[in-house]
Amino acid sequence: MTTDELRDEIEMLFKFGAEELPDSAAETFAVFRNALSSGAVRAASPSIEGWQTNAWVKKGILIGFRVGHSECTADAGPLGFVDKHTLPIRRFDDNEGVRVVPGGSSIREGAYIGRDVVCMPPMYVNIGAYIDDGTLIDSHALVGSCAQIGKKVHISAAAQIGGVLEPIGALPVIVEDNVLIGGNSGIYEGTIVSHEAVIAAGTVLTGSTRVYDVLNERVLRATADEPLVIPPRAVVVPGSRPAAGAYAAKLGLQVSSPLIVKYRDESTDAATAIEEALRS
């Protein structure tokens, strides 16, 4: 089945409710899930105009939930994990070049994992995620459904990369090549982190976050038509600004406002060179 044929079949099946889906839906979803796992299709794609959402791919993932029934995972051991039978845990062969260290990690089928990706336990990758070559996913990190992660990204311990499966047309979180995501940080709601940016530990970026670029004296934020975009090579750290209103002023209350304090230069690159050693 070609990609165009698969897309047309998914679009047709999505019109049916869970109880109305034809018997062929399970087979179509299996083909679709394999295409996700191989990277042949993905939830968002780069283009000259920027990142584009592939809404039909999100529809395909939702069909998997509709057509699936809950069952106990055969090798779950005493815990007895139960999940949709259409969304099994992904397993890797030695020749795939992926290192999943033992200790409680889980990757769903339908997630693309590139070569030389390292997964430190425990971590989780959901269906529809795309993780390119050489990325390191550290302990207690999450990569949500449909999130797109570039090459040689470091997702540090306890970092959360949100998904955005619904709304169907919404752009998922995008993290481009050579980005460092610091520990205990969170990237959510379709935010784009451009290539070689550094997100410091504890920074949270959402669809409503204002980011203050103190070097260029500007405020970055999402609009009704465009997501929040962190510029290439920006170094973003947690910050705060006074909350509005007399009561907030009286109490000295602050709201979170991440700051771009610099753009990566030779000294920053030297300071992060240890990342290459962690990937080997």
The boundaries of the domain holding residue 109 are: 89-275
CA distance 207 to 196: 21
Tens-digit pLDDT profile for residues 73-104: 766 666 678 889 999 989 999 999 999 999 88
Among 133, 148, 134, 224, which residue's Cα sits nearest to residue 193?
A: 148
Do 128 and 260 reside in the same domain of the chain? yes
> What is residue 271's predicted lDDT score, i.e. its pLDDT?
59
> What is residue 166's predicted lDDT score, i.e. its pLDDT?
85
pTM beyond 0.75: yes
DSSP string, 7-34: HHHHHHHTTS-TTT--THHHHHHHHHHH
Query: Residues of the chain whose pLDDT is less than 50?
Result: 270, 273-274, 277-278
CA distance 163 to 54: 14
Query: CA-based angle 207:208:214, to the nearest 5?
Result: 105
Say if CB 176 and CB 194 are below 8 A apart: yes
84 burial via Cβ count (<10 Å: 0-12, 13-18, 19+): middle
> What is residue 18's predicted lDDT score, i.e. its pLDDT?
85
Do 48 and 141 reside in the same domain of the chain? no
> What is residue 81's predicted lDDT score, i.e. its pLDDT?
81
- Token reading at 187: 């990237």
Main-chain dihedrals φ then ψ at residue 275, nearest 5 degrees:
-60, -35
Do 163 and 259 reside in the same domain of the chain? yes
DSSP string, 263-276: E--HHHHHHTTHHH
Do 22 and 140 reside in the same domain of the chain? no
Say if CB 198 and CB 234 are below 8 A apart: yes
Establish if 84 belongs to a structural domain. no
> What is residue 169's predicted lDDT score, i.e. its pLDDT?
87
Helix axes 55-67, 3-13, angle to 10 degrees: 60
Do 121 and 260 reside in the same domain of the chain? yes
Count of domains observed in the chain: 2
- Token reading at 204: 């949270």
Do 139 and 271 reside in the same domain of the chain? yes
Establish if 13 belongs to a structural domain. yes
Among 211, 212, 156, 167, which residue's Cα sits nearest to residue 189?
A: 167
Establish if 80 belongs to a structural domain. no
Establish if 51 belongs to a structural domain. yes
Say if CB 83 and CB 126 are below 8 A apart: no
> What is residue 104's predicted lDDT score, i.e. its pLDDT?
86
> What is residue 74's predicted lDDT score, i.e. its pLDDT?
61
CATH number, domain of 258, equals 2.160.10.10
Do 53 and 150 reside in the same domain of the chain? no
One-letter amino acid identity for 35? A
